[in-house]
Amino acid sequence: MNPNSDPKSLLHASFHAALQQVAPEHPLQVELERPRQASHGDYACNLAMQLAKPLKRNPREVAQALLAALPASEWVDKTEIAGPGFINIFLKPAAWQGLATRILQAGQTYGRSTLGQGEKIQVEFVSANPTGPLHVGHGRGAAFGASLANVLAFAGYDVHREYYVNDAGRQMDILALSTWLRYLERCDEFVPFPANAYQGGYVHTMADSIFALHGKRYARPAADVLQRIPAAEDDAEGHLDALIAKAKQLLGADYGYIHGFALEEQLGDGRNDLTEFRVRFDSWFSERSLHESGLIDKALDRLRQRGHLYEQDGALWFRSTAFGDEKDRVVRRDNGIYTYFAADIAYHLNKFERGFSRVIDVWGADHHGYIARVKGALSAAGMDPERLQVALVQFAVLYRNGQKASMSTRAGEYVTLRDLRAEVGNDAARFFYVLRKSDQHLDFDLDLAKSQSSDNPVYYIQYAHARIASVLNAWGGIEADLLDADTGRLEHPQEIALLRRLAEFPEIITSAAREFSPHLVAYYLKDLAADLHGLYVACQFLVQDEALRQARLLLIAATRQVLRSGLDILGVSAPEKM
């Protein structure tokens, strides 16, 4: 693309030249903004006001001088000095018209930027414990992470999407135990099911599957299971841990089968769920592999050698307070078992060893206290903690009948992502999730989402796409011919408005990538769809005048391209018909 064909770049260069002439001793950054008010022109420059103080001159006077020094341009219709010293630029339609052709030529590469320069970055997201179906809270992390990764890829980064599988911890043991206890019930061995074990129906399903596959092979007498188990009333968690230990003891090597079965079932379920939600990962990284490969020992050795570990009360501690954390953290408990944090240290060091120059973790907001210690560990290992960036996603709170709905996984009374998708559809769910800034709480009113799904803003955008597809269908010509259209015929105010909106797309992509804000894309698409609908009502596309018809069809074909690119980033489909 010819850089001169972009009005903003051209103006930027012009003002830079004017600045050098008027105030060469003040090399300010030239900023061009789009005024909110159409009456303030296409672009506004505040250079004069910034220069007023250092030059000790009246800002309007400086603006006068800048304008005098501004190189002439065939695209500039007029300029004015307004308000305290703004320079407003009004462009001729010709400045925008050529864009439609360029977009159609560029196709899906329009709006892509070189911001990322092929930098290898990793986005890790969802990473939910595979202990049950994904719920609506995970759904937000999934939608946000996937859209963020897409935006970054579109902005020129080499993005790797990863899911960290917590397959090593106590939660997995609790799931394995829960499954086994349900299985025992199936075998007519009744052990009271602990209230703090996993209650969900999917646990029954897994138990039934194991029974169907292996009969009573994994059954043990209930009396044996309950032997010397402390009462749940005295210490519920201790009761659970004792049962887990007993399961391991009675089952021996078979415990690994139950554990593995439950893990694979839940992981597979989550994978299918996410795939249907158009969320894909390049890799699934196992926490257990860190234990088995010795990477945790290696990582801790690295910290030990640098003098950041110490022993106390039988446990091994990381001196994270030396790196700004509020207290030191245990990495190996007095029972010799590594903490989740120890695995996470090894995991993050491993990420960088795999060659990512930057790593983005998408975490739930409840993990914010965790940032300091992970970054601390990176510093302690001699790495730049700034290479890890954490995007915190606030919780999505469900409302049902105006009441907050509980989302406890163990109690099994949450709404699953799958339920939500079935109720409001993948498109609406993906779109709704990213319609909020990630650090903003999301109130997801289920009744509203269900009852008003046809008023959903996502349909407004999809409808714009379908309308264009319908017109191009009715026309039935060859789209490549539109590249020859005379764009000089695009003069209607609505046409110019749409062209200006299309010109914003690359800037939106850059901002969204830089600020980790895919919601900017969603809002942009709403604006773009509004401009298209406005034009649709104002102008007939399939007119008698062939030159005008071709020009207008070119414009809407370009619009369709940008709608597609944007929707694709958000994981929302672009239907031809509605």
State which of residues 14, 101, 122, 166 lies at the interface with RNA (CB under 7 A): 166
* Binding segment toward RNA, per CB under 7 A, in 200-208, 227-235, 415-423, 539-547: 539-547
Q: Residue 540 CB, nearest distance to RNA (Å)?
A: 4
- Applying the rule CB under 7 A, the residues between 18 and 77 that interact with RNA are 35-37, 39-40, 44, 46, 49-50, 52-53
Smallest separation (angstroms) from RNA to the CB of 182 = 21
Binding of residue 88 to RNA (CB under 7 A): yes
Indicate the residue among 326 and 545 with the shorter CB distance to RNA: 326
Mask: binding to RNA, 276-295, rule CB under 7 A, as x and -?
A: -----------x--------
Q: Kindly report the length of the chain.
A: 578
- Decide if 395 contacts 366 (C-beta within 8 A): yes
Q: Work out whether the CA dihedral 138, 139, 144, 150 comes out positive or negative.
A: positive
Binding RNA (rule: CB under 7 A), the pick from 15, 19, 86, 274 is 86
Nearer to RNA, 169 or 412 (CB): 169
Kindly identify the residues of this chain, within the stretch 230-269, that bind RNA according to CB under 7 A: 237
Residues 6+ apart with CB under 8 A from 346: 290, 295, 296, 298, 299, 300
Under the binding rule (CB under 7 A), the answer on residue 520 touching RNA is yes
Contact 254, 261 (CB under 8 A): no
Task: Report the residue number, 82 or 106, with the smaller CB distance to RNA.
Answer: 82
Q: Does 466 bind RNA (CB under 7 A)?
A: yes
Question: Which of 94, 106, 113, 169 touches RNA by CB under 7 A?
Answer: 169
d(CA 482, CA 271): 43
Instruction: Say if strands 396-400 and 403-404 run parallel, antiparallel, or are unpaired.
Output: antiparallel
Query: Residue 471 CB, nearest distance to RNA (Å)?
Result: 4
End-to-end CA distance of the chain: 35
Stretch that binds RNA, among 91-99, 277-285, 437-445, 481-489 (CB under 7 A): 437-445
The answer to whether the beta carbons of residues 110 and 102 sit under 8 Å apart is yes
Token reading at 222: 């209930």
Nearest Cα to Cα of residue 414 among 113, 216, 201, 151: 201
Asked if 137 and 98 touch (Cβ cutoff 8 Å), the reply is no
Q: How far is the CB of 217 from RNA (least distance, A)?
A: 28
Query: What 8-state DSSP symbol labels residue 321?
Result: G
- Of the two residues 35 and 412, which places its CB atom closer to RNA in the complex? 35
Q: 477: helix, coil or strand?
A: coil
Residue among 152, 168, 206, 393 that touches RNA (CB under 7 A):
168
Q: How far apart are CA 258 and CA 219, in angstroms?
A: 11
Q: Which stretch binds RNA (CB under 7 A): 68-76, 142-150, 518-526, 563-571?
A: 518-526
Q: Is 510 in the site for RNA (CB under 7 A)?
A: no
The window from 81-89, 99-107, 210-218, 266-274 that contacts RNA (CB under 7 A) reads 81-89
Please choose, out of 14-22, 139-147, 178-186, 321-329, the segment that lies near RNA by the rule CB under 7 A. Answer: 321-329
| Helical H segments across 329-482, by residue range | 340-353, 371-380, 417-424, 426-433, 446-451, 457-475
Structure tokens at 464: 């714009």
Which is closer to RNA, CB of 412 or CB of 457? 457
Token pair for 55: 């030059």
* Residue nearer to RNA on the CB measure, 51 or 187: 51
Q: Residue 121 in contact with residue 158, Cβ under 8 Å?
A: yes
Q: Considering the complex, state which of residue 210 and residue 339 has its C-beta at the smaller distance from RNA.
A: 339
CB closer to RNA, 79 vs 209: 79
Measured from the CB atom, the residue of 129 and 379 that comes closer to RNA is 129
Q: Which of 115, 304, 395, 419 binds RNA (CB under 7 A)?
A: 395
Binding range to RNA, per CB under 7 A, among 115-123, 180-188, 334-342, 406-414: 334-342
C-alpha–C-alpha distance, residues 460 and 312, integer Å: 61
User: Closest Cα to residue 111, out of 169, 155, 177?
Assistant: 155
SS3 at position 324: coil
H/E segment holding residue 79? strand 76-82
Candidate segments 261-269, 434-442, 498-506, 562-570, binder of RNA by CB under 7 A: 434-442
Between residue 105 and residue 144, which ones bind RNA under the rule CB under 7 A?
A: 129
Smallest gap from residue 475 Cβ to RNA (A): 8
Place of tokens 């790593």: 359
Q: x/- contact string, 172-211, with RNA (CB under 7 A)?
A: ----------------------------------------
Residues 346-365 that bind RNA (CB under 7 A): 365
Instruction: Choose between 438 and 565: whose C-beta lies nearer to RNA.
Output: 438
Distance CA 527, CA 534 (A): 10
Among 416, 426, 510, 517, binds RNA (CB under 7 A): 517
> CB–CB of 497/531 below 8 Å?
yes
DSSP string, 330-361: EEE-TTSPBPHHHHHHHHHHHHHHTT-SEEEE
337 binds RNA (CB under 7 A): yes
Alpha carbon distance 156, 385 (integer Å): 23
